[in-house]
Structures are given as C-alpha cells and as structure tokens.
C-alpha cells in the first residue's frame, strides 16, 4: 500500500499553485513533478494570459525539466528516458488528451490527479491514452481522487467569475460557488480494482465500490486566499536534479 500522506503532501503543492493561478485570473490547474522524492519542476496553466491553447501546466513543467537536463553533465549509464521513468506527476486535474500523450511520450512513471476532466480527459474520462496500444512500453498508471473536492472547488471558483479573455465573455453575476455537491467519482474509469487496493488499501475499497471520495471533509486551508505563496516551489525548481551534476560554465 502506498504512503498516501506523502502523495497528498505533493498534491498540496500543486493545489497551492492552482490557487495562485486562480488569484491571477488564470484557470486554476497546476502541477508539480517529483524526482527522488523532491519537487524538481512545476507548471500552472497560462492559457488566459498567453492566449495560447497549448500553455498547459504539464507542458510548462516539462519545459523546465528539459532546460535542466540540457544544463547537466551527461552521466555515464543514465539516459534521458531513464530519468523520466523515475519522475512522477501530481496535477490538480486529469491531464487532457494532448498532455496525456506528451507524458506518455517522455516516459513519465506515474500520474496522480485530483479531479477528472470530463470534456478532454486523457487518462480515463474520455480516452485512456496512458494505457492504449501506442508506445505501450511507455504506458503509465494514473491515480485519481487525491484532494478531488478541493480541485473541483478551485475550478468552480474560477467559472463563477467573468473571464474577460474568453472569446465571448458570459454574464455570471448570479452564479453561486457550490461547496457541498459533487459528482460521483467513477474510480473504474481510471483504475482497476486491484490497482486501487494496492495503492489505497483494501480498507478503502468501499470508496471504489460506491464511487465515493476517500475524504468527506474539505481542507479549507488549501483553498484559503492566503495559500498562494509559491516561492518555495519556485526555489526547488531552480535547483539541479538530485544526483546529477550541473555542467560547468566555460
């Protein structure tokens, strides 16, 4: 069984980034990449500010990792794909089809996410890119439901306000932020029963069988408007990859 508290700790960083994005009028989707138990990269959606449909959190985080790898001295016996096979992604919302494909191509190890992406999800909601027959050697497992309600609330918060950068801004004066109603979590869309038991534990199988969240309570500290300082995450992302040597300047 996995150390769920450790995974929840990394997801908290992703949610803090998403909260920061929300307070900067950006779609609150964010992620952190973890290598050897350390945050090495992060990403926040930038589609509103950039007006580009491809500046998703995952792509921005991957770009940081590539930049780091280019600045490293090659390590004998270690190929780039070997490094990605030890990197895990924690993202607040299920990767879209585009991002799910990119993650598969680089050979990510595992993906952990908060809520599903009903319209564009590539890890089970719409397609299972992570488990399809293309480049099957790079298939990865995807674990949903970690702080799902918090991820949903951040998204709802964004969509209760008018997005002035939308092609056709919608009137949203009467929209109410709902924090007590959530759709069922259809675990089997993303993970089979055996993988669920191995990761979350047999004692939590009731959640899988009844399509329920693991936690009833909402962690309001995550959603607090003061929980937006990301200086620590930026600092970690500026550090070299652990165990690898940074190339000396000549």
* Positions of the chain with pLDDT under 50: 248-250
Are 14 and 32 in contact by the 8 Å Cβ rule? The answer is: yes
pLDDT (0 to 100) of residue 75 = 66
What pLDDT sits at residue 74? 65
Supply the DSSP symbol for 136. G
DSSP β-bridge partners for residue 31: 43, 91
pTM of the model: 0.92
- Tokens 């999800």: give the residue: 121
Which pair of tokens denotes residue 219? 């962690």
Q: Which domains does the chain have, with CATH numbers?
A: 1-164+175-181+216-238 (3.40.140.10)
Structural contact between residues 5 and 203, judged by C-beta atoms closer than 8 angstroms: no
**How far, in Å, CA of 152 to CA of 162, rounded?**
18
Residues forming the active site: 58
**232-245: pLDDT as tens digits:** 999 999 999 987 76
Q: What is the pLDDT of residue 38?
A: 97
């Amino acid at each position: 069984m996995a150390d769920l508290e450790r995974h929840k700790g990394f997801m908290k960083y992703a949610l803090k980034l998403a909260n920061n994005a929300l307070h900067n009028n950006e779609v609150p989707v964010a992620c952190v990449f973890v290598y050897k138990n350390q945050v090495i990269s992060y990403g926040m959606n930038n589609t509103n500010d950039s007006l580009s449909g491809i500046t998703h959190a995952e792509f921005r985080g991957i770009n940081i990792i590539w930049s780091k790898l280019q600045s490293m001295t090659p390590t004998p016996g270690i190929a780039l794909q070997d490094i990605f096979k030890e990197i895990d992604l924690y993202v607040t919302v299920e990767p879209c089809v585009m991002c799910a494909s990119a993650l598969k191509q680089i050979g990510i190890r595992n993906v952990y996410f908060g809520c599903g992406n009903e319209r564009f999800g590539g890890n089970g909601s719409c397609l299972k890119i992570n488990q399809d027959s293309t480049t099957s050697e790079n298939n990865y497992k995807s674990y949903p439901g970690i702080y799902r309600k918090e991820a949903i609330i951040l998204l709802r918060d964004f969509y209760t306000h008018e997005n002035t950068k939308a092609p056709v801004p919608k009137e949203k004066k009467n929209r109410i932020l709902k924090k007590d109603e959530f759709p069922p979590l259809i675990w089997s869309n993303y993970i089979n029963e055996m993988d669920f038991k191995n990761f979350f534990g047999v004692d939590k199988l009731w959640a899988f069988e009844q399509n329920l969240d693991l936690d009833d309570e909402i962690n309001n500290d995550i959603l607090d408007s003061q929980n937006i300082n990301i200086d620590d995450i930026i600092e970690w992302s500026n550090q070299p990859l652990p165990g690898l040597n940074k190339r000396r300047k000549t």
